[in-house]
Structure 1
């Protein structure tokens, strides 16, 4: 007698239950029973911290679904969330909010803490090239102080500890961060550029390399922070092809 089997496919688990009823012919019978697993929504991150006026991206998926059920987003409390799951905190206040992700008939939620700037303490700044934010942490404990919005492809970061300023290289522009207030300001875009690495120079200047620069063209650009807090172009230098560090 040929035994029947089935592949394990979510959300249905195929459980083979042996009946162990031996017939006179010595054949064992098997029965199939379908057990439906409950669906749930998984959200990442489940707990987040963001500075006033900045944003953080959430991702959610329906576990046990067919991958076609759309996720709908909503927020309870201050701020707002986009259709793609990006939560934006209000410019003022440090209240908490709840971001809700719903898919079909099930939902889950994540807490967002809108946190005040950490003050005059040593900080660790982390930029994710595949993300759109800067992770700010307390250097002594590595605890997250909050997230900052950043342009796409944020890469190298340079810090001026005396002036409490940071410069982030991000694709066609650079972004300045006032570490005292966590205020952000970006430079005028340079079309076609791919700013990759940043470094602090003497005299209050910063430099950023353009990874898309061709040989013999300006590949290192110099910036200073203007009175409005935004980076301003202050010169350039010729570099080799595709300059990086």
Structure 2
């Protein structure tokens, strides 16, 4: 089994990653940053997001494992003091995994070029100054004219991140759905939007057609992009999925309770 270890710059993460690499090498595993079978991230959810984008072209054969050096996250099953148990789980590996849906983003520009992205958490479109104005289509049918700061489109796993902070619902990751949430929409006698999160089925897609301004900011997970003049952006559930090597299971709602509510009294 070929393994890649991706860590953040935190000293605790560096120490844990070194210990993990030494124990994996001693156990006979091959370290391979280019074509791994398993990618282990040491840090937090942000570290795993970065690793996902690094290996986005290899999702058909790569499985991910998250080791957290702080509080348990939504993508991390292991703590840094459980290195020995993780190595033993890898030695007993039988290929088990769980997969989650991803977001497929296709942006069209005025000059006829396109950009294609995959997102694990969410993608957003905002204006850097002034009100964002764009028409929203569900599949090919016009739905509404949006006015506000921006729009966020998230995956089920991403529903606990930026989407939730904008009033979105928390969606179980076994659902192949995507969610559209408004960011500070304008609703008055002149402009009206749904003013509620929308959860779309896997055979549906959303198209945004913004008015032609140069100062749009698009984000794909934690990466910000200042695109050229955008004519439309299409969002749909991707055909690709991310696979996690899950040797033990923590129920999704237990993760939600731990992250947002805290220990039961």
TM-score normalised to structure 1 length? 0.25
The structure with the largest alpha-carbon Rg is 1
> In proportion to residue count, which structure has more strand?
1
Structure having greater relative contact order (Cα 8 Å, sep ≥ 6): 2
> In proportion to residue count, which structure has more helix?
2
